[in-house]
Amino acid sequence: MPIGPAVRGVLGPRLELLAADAYRRLFVDLDSLAESVAEMGPYSSLIEVGCGEGSLLTRLVARLGRDVTALGIDIAADPGRSFVGDRARVTFCQATVAEIAGAGNRFDLVVVSEVLYYWPKDVMLAALRRFEEILAPGGALLAVHWRKETKTYPLQGDEVHELLLRYTRLANTATITESEYRLDLFEDKP
């Protein structure tokens, strides 16, 4: 059985969130990350691609202010199952970014955290085009990835960010590089 359903079965959804948070805190402080994103705003509509159980969206929605609306998508079943916060402002759905782009949706902020190194380079670059497509004019793409060596992923975290820098049409307006993770903000500038 995959680790997610196994952990959920044993712990239940609330404890699963705590377990996921404890695991994530080993390398990324989600609260600091959400604070950093809030300082980069304001943003009124955001999408997190590959939102998982909703840990990061829990923090982002809490910090981005009352007017923000958010969409979390994931290819895995039951995305956002552990989200804590105002559900009236957040929608979760099992979908790909290509489907969201095809439906004509646009967002002020597109967040991709701990996702892009699971994809081969050509898939990642095709997704980058979709991220750019779903940005509202003047919007921003935020990418965050763990930097330590991974043995089994197609790409390393630093490679992901180098590819984004090289291939995006967006302007790189902020970078935070810690020993464990890297964050880059790319903005749609005239």
Q: Which of 11, 76, 101, 174 binds ligand SAM (CB under 6 A)?
A: 76
* Smallest distance, ligand SAM to C-beta of residue 190, A: 30
- The angle formed by the CA atoms of residues 134, 140 and 143, to the nearest 5 degrees, is 95
Considering only 37, 51, 134, 141, the residue that binds ligand SAM (CB under 6 A) is: 51
Binding residue (CB under 6 A) for ligand SAM from 29, 63, 118, 150: 118
What is the rounded CA–CA span in Å between residue 68 and residue 189? Answer: 22
**The binder of ligand SAM chosen from 80, 113, 124, 140 (CB under 6 A):** 113
The minimum distance between CB 55 and ligand SAM, in angstroms, equals: 5
- Which residues, 93 to 112, sit near ligand SAM by CB under 6 A? 96
Q: Is 184 in the site for ligand SAM (CB under 6 A)?
A: no
Stretch that binds ligand SAM, among 34-42, 47-55, 161-169, 171-179 (CB under 6 A): 47-55
Q: Which one-letter amino acid corresponds to residue 73?
A: I
Please list every residue from 137 through 166 that binds ligand SAM, using CB under 6 A. Answer: none
3-state SS, one letter per residue, for the chain: CCHHHHHHHHHCHHHHHHHHHHHHHCCCCHHHHHHHHHHHCCCCEEEEECCCCCHHHHHHHHHCCCCCEEEEEECCCCCCCCCCCCHHHEEEEECCHHHHHHCCCCEEEEEEECCHHHCCHHHHHHHHHHHHHCEEEEEEEEEEEECCCCCCCCCCHHHHHHHHHHHCCCEEEEEEECCCEEEEEEECCC
Q: Which of 8, 43, 47, 55: binder of ligand SAM (CB under 6 A)? A: 55
Q: According to CB under 6 A, which one of 8, 34, 45, 52 is a site residue for ligand SAM?
A: 52
Size of the site for ligand SAM (CB under 6 A): 15
Exactly one of 16, 37, 45, 50 binds ligand SAM (CB under 6 A); which one?
A: 50
Residue ranges binding ligand SAM (CB under 6 A):
49-52, 55-56, 73-76, 96, 113-115, 118
